[in-house]
Amino acid sequence: MLKQVCFKNFVVFEDEQKIEFNKQNKDGDTKFRLNGPYIFIGENKSGKSAVFEGIRRCLKKELNTSVSKPYNANELSYFLCKFEKENTDEVITGTISIPSEPNTTSDKTVTGTLSERLPGDESLGQTFETNTEQATEEETNKKLPFYSIEYYRIAILFKNKCLHEFGIDRILIDNGNINLKELETTEEYELVQLYQLMSKENKVVNITIESLLRQNIRGMKSKDNSEQFTRCEHIIADLSNDVVFTFPLRSIGPLQWSKSERIALEKRHQNYIEAESRCEILRYFLKDDHGEFDKEKESKIFERITNMSQDYRFTLQNDSILVNDDPLKLLKTPEGILEAKYVSIMLSGYFKTIVLEEPDRGMHPQFVQRMIQVITEETKTTGKVVILSTHNTSFLTPWTLSNCFRFRRHGDVCHVKSVGEVVYYDFKKLRLMTGDHLADLFFAKHVLFGEGISDCLFLQEMVTLLLSDGSDGNYNNNDFLRKHSTDLHKILPNITISKLNGKDSVGFFRKICTDLELPCLFLLDKDAQEKNNGYGDCFFWSVRHIEDAVKTMLDRDEDDALKKKIRLDNSKLFLHETVKVRDVSVCVDTLLQRCSHDNDLGKLLLRILEAFSS
């Protein structure tokens, strides 16, 4: 099973990142392990799929048709995995790229098709797999114009932490085909130190994974043979069979919208054939006669997740997939049911590491909750490692949050942070972070905290109005908004608004956001200024609170009717039972029309732009 990944300068990651799939408790007990899935969360294009790609690159060549680009083509790049086998043997596998000569003029985002020539006169068409968390594996021929890159793969088998066997291959790609050339090695090969480096047991000063790889791989000679089943492939082969992945866009239906020509009656049979052809996982399972899956176990798991196993009985007849003995019902099977079936199938197999990309597609929230419970029990009883990515906050509970890894993107560089290290398995923190929509923080790019519900309602309506199609009127009629229109349209869509539930929570969330490296800004009442004045992450109303701020900005006779509607006289802003949605919109819209650099609303917008512009 997969225990750790370590990578640097890989696709969208510049600095070294480590993800460990075994935890330590507060006493440093490395045997302590939380049960349940390991969950990759974060904003779009933050590198989650790139890590899945890296894990696949460390497995047998049949699982790969290309190599992955380095973030910076001038620097060494690596992605390493550490696996633990059932007999406690451990295997480190990895993919490495090394620039063969320095380059001072290239651009790491080179596109197009140019020719490349690697040392040894091997004329290659280098294939890079694009990775922007898109649905399918797109491959684009990219030839690097001013430099060449050498690609390698390593596999090292350890028994009782001692080197037992290892192999190193040079990866060559010719017309989309991966070819391997085994390199000559010796028993004293220094790559054995990778174990100490990845296990934090290294006692050698001034040595890093990067320097170790650079010193010991470049310049190695190829063996005089053309065998494709190299020692490296031999070590990786069995290991690879214990790992299974799902890819995005697993929806089977060919119909996309009501204008489709496929709706015609004569197209129904062809639609079924096409849908059935996309059910690879289900077909493989139904055809299994070799005991790869425990079908009784799978049936129980599927029922536990869905409570609908009798409504969706999948069978194979004359090589056709039937649902409740009807072939056409496959087209009407909800996506969430199929996803639940896929999960139950893979949990019932012999796989030791299961990697699921967004397994909650189309699932009812209760399906998600029951799926988490099933995965947790399975990992506890079998020791399997289940890794998944999601944008669904239903996965984030006090019992799963410590197993989460938050991915974030800053510019074109991505980073990973263990949420468990931030909350450190503190149940009070876990409850706070998963309640009252605060789980949205883990998918956020920037966070704007309102002290209370009135502040948050005001902020949400303000952002909605400034980004709506009808907002041009505000921008055109207000010099302040027109001046800052471009910046507001750039920054406001990336803001997540969250409620503090009082000024006493500022310190807690400030630390959480700092640890998560998540930019934040707190909107607070004036009475919180004394305690938080030394921090640069706060904006304070110039008067007591939001109600007084709104009164000040609406201090005109013609606004009396509006003041009564939003009940500024005797209750919290917008919270009186007579306040309607339109009243909130009219109030905020009126304030935006009067927005300027010398009133609270203008100052707040300027502070937001300042806080989140970098």
Q: What is the mean pLDDT of residues 419-430?
A: 79
CA distance 245 to 286: 18
**pLDDT of 545 above 60:** yes
Q: Which of 6-10, 61-65, 117-121, 338-342 has the lowest mean pLDDT?
A: 117-121
**Neighbouring residues of 333: CB distance < 8 A, sequence distance ≥ 6:** 312, 323
C-alpha separations of 416 from 73, 112, 201, 229, 476 in Å: 21, 30, 22, 35, 42
Q: For residue 378, what pLDDT is reported?
A: 95
Cα Rg of the chain, angstroms = 28
Q: Is 321 helix (H, G, I), strand (E, B) or coil?
A: strand
Q: What is the pLDDT of residue 522?
A: 97
Q: Which region among 77-91, 221-235, 348-362 has the lowest average model confidence (pLDDT)? A: 221-235
Does residue 31 surpass a pLDDT of 90? no
pLDDT at res. 33: 52
Three-state SS string over 431-497 comes to HHHCCCCHHHHHHCCEEEEECCHHHHHHHHHHHHHHHCHHHHHHHHHCHHHHHCHHHHHHHHHHEEE
Q: How confident is the model at residue 121 (pLDDT cuts 50, 70, 90)?
A: very low
Question: Each residue of 518-527: pLDDT tens digit?
Answer: 999 999 999 9
Residue 245 confidence class, pLDDT cut points 50, 70, 90 = very high
Collapsing DSSP states into helix, strand and coil, what is residue 62? helix
- How far is it, in rounded angstroms, from Cα 558 to Cα 564? 12
- Is the separation of the CB atoms in 47 and 11 below 8 Å? yes
Contact between 308 and 301 under an 8 Å Cβ cutoff? The reply is no
* More confident of the two residues 117 and 174: 174
The reported pLDDT for the residue numbered 473 is 64
Whether residue 202 has pLDDT greater than 70: no
Given this model, what pLDDT does residue 118 score?
36
Min mean pLDDT across 91-105, 503-517, 519-533 is at: 91-105
Q: Which residue has the higher pLDDT, 610 or 502?
A: 610
Range with lowest mean pLDDT among 64-68, 295-299, 552-556, 584-588:
552-556
Q: What is the pLDDT of residue 586?
A: 86
Q: Specify the pLDDT at position 187.
A: 52
Query: Quick one: CA dihedral 482, 487, 493, 498, positive or negative?
Result: negative
The H or E element that residue 93 is part of is strand 90-99
Looking at the DSSP bridge assignments, the partners of residue 8 are 78
| Across 53-78, average pLDDT | 93
Kindly report the average pLDDT of the chain as a whole number. 84
Nearest to 131 by CA among 11, 13, 6: 11
Q: Is the dihedral of CA 168, 172, 173, 178 positive or negative?
A: negative
More confident residue, 50 or 121: 50
pLDDT at res. 101: 62
Concatenated DSSP letters of 301-315: HHHHHHS-TTT--EE
| Residue range 466-506, pLDDT digits in tens | 998 666 666 778 899 999 999 999 999 999 999 988 888 89
Is pLDDT at 112 greater than 80 in this prediction? no
Looking at the DSSP bridge assignments, the partners of residue 7 are: 17, 79
C-beta separation of 320 from 232 below 8 A:
no
Categorize the per-residue pLDDT at 339 as very low, low, confident or very high, splitting at 50, 70 and 90: very high
Q: Which of 251-265, 368-382, 416-430, 484-498 has the lowest mean pLDDT?
A: 416-430
Q: From residue 240, how far is each of 48, 57, 64, 425, 537 by CA, in Å? A: 20, 11, 12, 32, 48
Q: What is the DSSP code string of 222-272?
A: BPS---SS-HHHHHHHHHHHTEEE--S--------STT-GGGSGGGHHHHH
User: Would you place residue 162 in the very low, low, confident or very high pLDDT band (cuts 50, 70, 90)?
Assistant: confident
Determine the pLDDT at residue 133: 43
State yes or no: pLDDT of 601 exceeds 80.
yes
Residue 34 has a pLDDT of 67
**Domain residue ranges in the chain:** 2-242, 250-350, 444-612
Q: Which of 59, 64, 502, 435 is nearest to 240 (CA)?
A: 59
Report yes or no: 466 and 497 within 8 Å, Cβ to Cβ: no
CA nearest neighbour of 292 among 236, 359, 355, 242:
242
Region 55-80 average pLDDT: 93
Residue 108: band (very low, low, confident or very high) from pLDDT cuts 50, 70, 90: very low
Residue 334 has a pLDDT of 93
Query: Is the per-residue pLDDT at 507 higher than 60?
Result: yes
**Res. 54: pLDDT tops 60:** yes
Q: At 224, is the pLDDT very low, low, confident or very high (cuts 50, 70, 90)?
A: low
